[in-house]
Structure 1
Amino acid sequence: MDVYPSAAKLLSHHRPERPVLALRPHTVARAAAWFLANFPGRVLYAAKANDAPPIIDALADAGIRAFDVASLVEIERVAGVEDAELYFMNPIKSRGAISRAYREFGVRRFAFDSDEELDKVLDETNGADDLTLYLRIACPNTHSLIPLEGKYGASQEEAPALLLKAHQCAMRLGITFHVGSQAVVPAAFGEVLRQVGQLIVSSGVLVDAVDIGGGFPARYPHADPPALESFMEEIVRAADELAVKHSCELLCEPGRALVAEAESVIVRVDARRGDTLYINDGAFGSLFDAAYSGFRFPARLVTPGKESAEPDTAFALYGPTCDSSDYLPGPFVLPACVGEGDYLEIGQVGAYGRVLANRFNGFGTFDEVVLTDEPMLPMFAPGGDESSDTAWPARA
């Protein structure tokens, strides 16, 4: 893969026809280093966020060897990482996927959220005695920009019996939850950890692990969250209140926070109509969240020779497909001179950008390069050295 110091430098050599996904693996390395230094337990990467080989390689090189996977395809893509630990945390899986994960890939860690799913895991592993089973519980997602509640999770009424049943057959037992994607309030984690503490007491079942899921935020123009240190402080405080704190492993599953900065997309303007720009990527490509989740991504004009002192203008964008829902309201703030033939760099698309792209109307294919400059909205300082001590030790 070709390497350039910036998008403008790329464009001084090439004027690509297709949109270009620009990877910044160095940002992944420092984000991973920060989580490994600051989270008081085991860090899993949520492979659903971005499965590009350079991203997975950068995470592994930084020391992340545990992966939250949701399908056999994701398992296959990360199984080649040396000493990989795979956690099959999709609460509902096919029987074939469970069997292959256990027998072909050595997966021993499974989530469930019902009697039926627990029975399925036990059946397809022939009642194996080497399983770590995680009960997924329902929890409110009131502090996240993309709520995920409603699809998965045992209720507070169902959970005690499920914990007791799993305790009788699991080598290790855990509880897991998810506060929603792009959680912007640290208290989101503390509130559910206290709910977990109440569940442990009411069920009378001691657990070996608590997986607090993902939801850690990245920076966007519409959502500049508190520093991640404040999330860690909240998690440590709440975890210290658990009755099992001295014997229980704490886990997390960051996806967005690890990789949002790791990719931008370089797009061409194919038309301008007033304050609306028509570009060659959009809602059915890497910019799904801008259309359907209300995200505003940072954007800049990167056409060589068009550095402009003109005042900024708020633009909306349309993608290249014939579907009128391929609309990105933004606003995207750009120099007023932008027009047909110009190139824009749209940042922070490393989380869920490439994995949500499809081939509608024949679009959705990208060139790829590596850029060595800084992302538009960095959360982690160069060197990844903003570590802080935490009170909860990681446990095997």
Structure 2
Amino acid sequence: MTGEFASHKRQAEAAGEQEAQAMVLQQAFQRDPALWLARMRLDDPVFFFDPARLRATAALFMAHFPGEVTYAVKANPEGAVLDGLAAAGMAGFDVASVEEMAQVRRAAPEARLHYHNPVRSMTEIAAARRFGITSWSVDRRSELDKLGPLEGTEVAVRLKLPVAGAAYDFGSKFGAGPEETGALLRAVVAKGGMPSLTFHPGTQCREAKAWETYIRAAAGIAACAGIRLHRLNVGGGFPAHREEPAPDLPALFSAIDRAVAAAFGKNRPALVCEPGRAMVAEAFDLALRIKAREGETIFLNDGIYGGLAEWRDIAPSTRVTVLDPDGVPRSGESRRMTVFGPTCDSLDRLPDGLRLPVGLEEGDYLLFRGCGAYSSALATRFNGYGARQIVTLARQ
């Protein structure tokens, strides 16, 4: 009996070890995109969402930006993102539509909503009032008049300037020139509103110069108009980590703080920012599979009609890793290759191609890092393609 008992004990211990090993492996798959891809061998595009990265970025903004931080929902309105930001303490959100208002209210019922899309229908205005808007923006008199009596409501006049330094300019669609901005600020006061000023320096601004130029102009406009600003919204434009070195966001915040102090002095307004890209980009990676290779041309299972939509408009990211089907990174000699997406449209092509290892093969994966902004939000279903699946990582 003693020998039989010992045998059973060894078998039980072995089974327990196998179960423990299986649990460890399962946890590893949930933490590492490469291991997950090697195990699942998925043929469809997939986003990997890391809640810990999102929390860390939110904490960085809220700890270092010298004012209120409001997340620009347009960058990524996924429920997990809004829930994660609300749990991290984000209490303000920049919304551009009634649908975004509803999405935020589901995640954060008491959040402050800044409706800074400056052109609205009367139906949208009525719906926004029901959602309880904290701050509105305008860039023309006709849109200010649509709001009716303001009675203590904050209205931020949107300024535009010909400022360089962004990946692309936001002033071609929205914004008032300096003289018109001053007139609108005075009109806000005349209608009983709290006058604020807002601007957007553009997207992916790695230097502080764009903000500094806008801040100096804002101070001059307010002074000429005889208006003391309630708040100054310095917009978004904060860069994501698309190339080396990684952006130094606290340094940008400090530069903005110094510029406001120098420009406004004792009339310094409270500050607001509305990051989208920089808040959410690093929280997602996008894994695409190579469907075919022909010489120096590869075809992926997603492209500019899906998770890589924004690659048509800004410089490509350099943070791309090639993994073989077992999740092992490919290295060695590399060269620039032509990269097509999966649709029947010949425009479905990355404009600059990618520099990739020459040894890559059909069935390999391309892991695009920092792909959380303007990716799933812009994905279409053209030809039945478009990255949609999201796997949530369980980081330790």
Q: Describe the shift of the 1:6–1:202 C-alpha distance in structure 2 as closer, same or farther (beyond 3 A).
A: same
Give the aligned partner of residue 50 of structure 1: 76
Q: 2:270 aligns with which of 233, 238, 249?
A: 249
Q: Deviations 1:175-198 (Å, cap 9, x if unpaired)?
A: 000100101211111111000010
Counterpart Cα distance in 2 of 1:138 and 1:94: 22
Counterpart Cα distance in 1 of 2:348 and 2:331: 30
Give the aligned partner of residue 267 of structure 1: 288
Give the aligned partner of residue 28 of structure 1: 54
Give the aligned partner of residue 121 of structure 1: 147
Q: Does 1:215 align with 2:241?
A: no
Matches within 5 A, 1:288-307: 288-302=309-323, 303-304=325-326, 306-307=328-329
* 1:173 partner SS: strand
Q: Describe the shift of the 1:309–1:180 C-alpha distance in structure 2 as closer, same or farther (beyond 3 A).
A: closer
Q: Give the greater-gyration-radius structure (CA).
A: 2
Moved more, 319-328 or 361-370: 361-370
Confirm or deny: 8 A CA contact 1:47 1:69 kept in the other structure: yes
Q: 1:98 aligns with which of 118, 125, 145?
A: 125
Give the aligned partner of residue 366 of structure 2: 344
Give the aligned partner of residue 380 of structure 1: none
Which of 1 and 2 has higher RCO (CA within 8 Å, sep 6+)?
1
* 1:352 partner SS: coil
Confirm or deny: 8 A CA contact 2:260 2:268 kept in the other structure: no
Confirm or deny: 8 A CA contact 2:344 2:383 kept in the other structure: yes
Counterpart Cα distance in 1 of 2:329 and 2:223: 62
Confirm or deny: 8 A CA contact 2:234 2:274 kept in the other structure: yes
* 2:262 partner SS: coil
Q: Describe the shift of the 1:173–1:9 C-alpha distance in structure 2 as closer, same or farther (beyond 3 A).
A: same
Give the aligned partner of residue 116 of structure 2: 89
Confirm or deny: 8 A CA contact 2:228 2:267 kept in the other structure: no
Deviation (angstroms), 1:7: 1.5
Q: For residue 152 of structure 1, what is the amino acid of its counterpart?
A: F
Q: For residue 184 of structure 1, what is the amino acid of its counterpart?
A: R
State TM-score, norm by structure 2. 0.87
Counterpart Cα distance in 1 of 2:51 and 2:193: 37
Q: Describe the shift of the 1:174–1:250 C-alpha distance in structure 2 as closer, same or farther (beyond 3 A).
A: same
Confirm or deny: 8 A CA contact 2:232 2:272 kept in the other structure: yes
Q: For residue 16 of structure 1, what is the amino acid of its counterpart?
A: L
Deviation (angstroms), 1:226: 4.7
Q: Describe the shift of the 1:34–1:108 C-alpha distance in structure 2 as closer, same or farther (beyond 3 A).
A: closer
Confirm or deny: 8 A CA contact 1:44 1:64 kept in the other structure: yes
Moved more, 280-289 or 153-162: 153-162
Structure with the higher fraction of residues in helix conformation: 2
Counterpart Cα distance in 2 of 1:241 and 1:111: 25
Moved more, 362-371 or 304-313: 304-313
Confirm or deny: 8 A CA contact 2:35 2:327 kept in the other structure: no
Deviation (angstroms), 1:51: 0.7
State TM-score, norm by structure 1. 0.87
* 2:133 partner SS: coil
Deviation (angstroms), 1:351: 0.8
Matches within 5 A, 1:127-142: 127-142=149-164
Q: Describe the shift of the 1:331–1:371 C-alpha distance in structure 2 as closer, same or farther (beyond 3 A).
A: farther
Q: For residue 277 of structure 2, what is the amino acid of its counterpart?
A: R
Q: Deviations 1:147-176 (Å, cap 9, x if unpaired)?
A: 111211111121222111101224422000
Deviation (angstroms), 1:293: 2.6
Q: Describe the shift of the 1:372–1:317 C-alpha distance in structure 2 as closer, same or farther (beyond 3 A).
A: farther
Q: Describe the shift of the 1:309–1:187 C-alpha distance in structure 2 as closer, same or farther (beyond 3 A).
A: closer
Q: Deviations 1:356-384 (Å, cap 9, x if unpaired)?
A: 1111111125221023469xxxxxxxxxx
Moved more, 290-299 or 313-322: 290-299
Deviation (angstroms), 1:118: 0.1
Q: For residue 291 of structure 1, what is the amino acid of its counterpart?
A: R
Counterpart Cα distance in 2 of 1:27 and 1:245: 38
Q: Describe the shift of the 1:282–1:26 C-alpha distance in structure 2 as closer, same or farther (beyond 3 A).
A: same
Number of aligned residue pairs: 367
Matches within 5 A, 1:369-388: 369-372=391-394
Deviation (angstroms), 1:259: 0.8
Q: Does 1:197 align with 2:219?
A: yes
Unaligned stretches of 5+ residues in structure 2: 1-26
Matches within 5 A, 1:132-171: 132-171=154-193
